[in-house]
């Protein structure tokens, strides 16, 4: 091999080794969705978004952020309605 050629196989192997410490997505998703949590006071909308994220139904940073913001907007709307109902009773 002369100095002008590029060995893509060894370059690709070296690049992929950079990520070898990361968990494979399928194993991580199985673990995340099989765990049971004490949900306590967590609103059902937030739990639903978290479950969708864990199952890989919401992917990408922007999509996850927007989905959580929408869930939090629903939580705030619900709390405002509950406070209004309680204060007018």
Q: Per residue of the chain (89 residues), what is the pLDDT tens digit?
A: 455 566 667 767 667 776 666 665 555 455 555 556 666 778 889 989 988 998 899 999 999 999 999 999 999 998 888 887 777 66
* Model pLDDT, residue 69: 96
Supply the range of the domain harboring residue 80.
Answer: 24-88
Asked if residue 9 is part of any domain, the answer here is no
Asked if residue 1 is part of any domain, the answer here is no
Asked if residue 4 is part of any domain, the answer here is no
Total-model pTM: 0.54
* Model pLDDT, residue 33: 53
Asked if residue 31 is part of any domain, the answer here is yes
* Count: domains in the chain: 1
Asked if residue 37 is part of any domain, the answer here is yes
Asked if residue 63 is part of any domain, the answer here is yes
* Model pLDDT, residue 19: 65
* Model pLDDT, residue 22: 65
Asked if residue 18 is part of any domain, the answer here is no
Q: For 84, left (φ over 0), alpha (ψ -120 to 50), or beta?
A: alpha
Tokens, residue 51: 């479950």
């Amino acid at each position: 091999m002369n100095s002008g050629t590029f060995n893509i196989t060894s370059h690709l192997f070296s690049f992929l080794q950079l990520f070898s410490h990361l968990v494979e997505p399928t194993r991580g998703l199985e673990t995340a969705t099989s765990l049971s949590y004490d949900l306590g006071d967590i609103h059902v909308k937030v739990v639903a978004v978290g479950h969708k994220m864990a199952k890989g139904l919401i992917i990408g940073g922007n999509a996850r952020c927007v989905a959580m913001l929408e869930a939090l907007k629903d939580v705030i709307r619900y709390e405002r309605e509950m406070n209004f109902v309680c204060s007018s009773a």
